[in-house]
Amino acid sequence: MTMRLPSELVTAGLAPADKLADLARVAERYAVAITPALADLIDRDDPNDPIARQFVPSGAELVTMPDERADPIGDDAHSPVEGIVHRYPDRVLLKLVNVCAVYCRFCFRREMVGPGKKMLSPDQLDAALDYIARTPQIWEVILTGGDPLVLSARRLGEVIRRIAAIEHVRIIRFHTRVPVAAPETITPALVRAMKAPGKTTYVALHANHPRELTPQVREAVARIVDAGIPMVSQSVLLKGVNDSAETLSELMRAFVECRIKPYYLHHGDLAPGTSHFRTSIEEGQSLMRALRGRVSGLAQPTYVLDIPGGHGKVPVGPGYIDMCAEAGAVVEDINGVKRDYA
């Protein structure tokens, strides 16, 4: 059973009893949920366990820094109708639900998701789909939230059929944690519901540590990929979770082994109460340099920053070329040696 109460976490040995009051204060503000699959991954004897750090609430979440904001990437500024975020010309986010199977402690939408948060009503869904239908430059619809794969196969299939009826939409993409959080729910029926005749479906899987890709998760992923649905990855660079070249290398290789193409490594957003997770951009660039020198090109994600205020994401990885008037260009190789390129 999914644990949602701080008292349940203490009983399960996932949090110390003397922290119960702090955890209760966190849970009053931010949703808590840890599924059995993830609870089983947590090493109760390791106070720095990287899985626990991602999902077990901490009193540090009660500390909000001056630069943090409730809507760190500016969803609201680009929401023409409820449930739609239209930040880039050819694609929109469709936020069907505002609940998740698990709640990441670093979530950039943490103020907007959780039990009791506003969800799309039938009328709001109609309005959202109408906006997509009357905006012909929309080529891709990205289902997010919340997590769209918490829906039943029946309900998800109904929404996908309605999106598929919009001729100018060619790509449907799902952003999800569910294959990691509850791999048993990735049933053949749910996989079928994600597909639509004449459209291409992609699934972006969020995972941050190689231990998350258990045999059960790999089987769930295989059900998706074997059905002809390509998968890409999304990860967040998190202090104490994956901020080492060794861990990132293992994670990216594990994605590739699962037939998931590494896609984005996100710099931590300025969500409230998450400063204890954020690295510096310089640290992230250093890690990307280390990846470039040690893992296959198949295993290289793009390190990106979502500019606060809704101005979009940009790559912020290290640079390797310096244009010089005299030399033409100086290029740095993977070992840090500068080479002339005329």
* Three-state DSSP state, 308: coil
Distance of CA 202 to the CA centre of its chain: 14
Place of tokens 């290789």: 253
- Alpha carbons 273 and 270: distance in angstroms, whole number: 9
Q: Which residues contact 323 (CB under 8 A, 6 or more apart)?
A: 329
Catalytic residues: 87-88, 91, 100, 104, 107, 109, 269, 306, 313
Classified as helix, coil or strand, 147 is coil
195 Cβ contact list (under 8 Å, min separation 6) = 160, 201, 227, 228, 229
CB–CB of 84/94 below 8 Å? Answer: yes
Residue 21 φ/ψ, nearest 5 degrees: -65, -45
Between CA 209 and CA 276 the distance in angstroms is: 17
Cα 126-127-132 angle, rounded to 5 deg:
100
Q: How many CB atoms neighbour CB 289 within 10 A?
A: 17
Amino acid residing at 11: T
- 216: which 2 tokens? 């059960």
Number of Cβ within 10 Å of residue 282's Cβ equals: 10
Q: Which residue is it, tokens 């198949």?
A: 298
Contacts of 45 (CB under 8 A, 6+ apart): none
- Closest by CA to 106, choosing from 303, 300, 266, 247, is 266
**CB 223, CB 188: distance < 8 Å:** yes
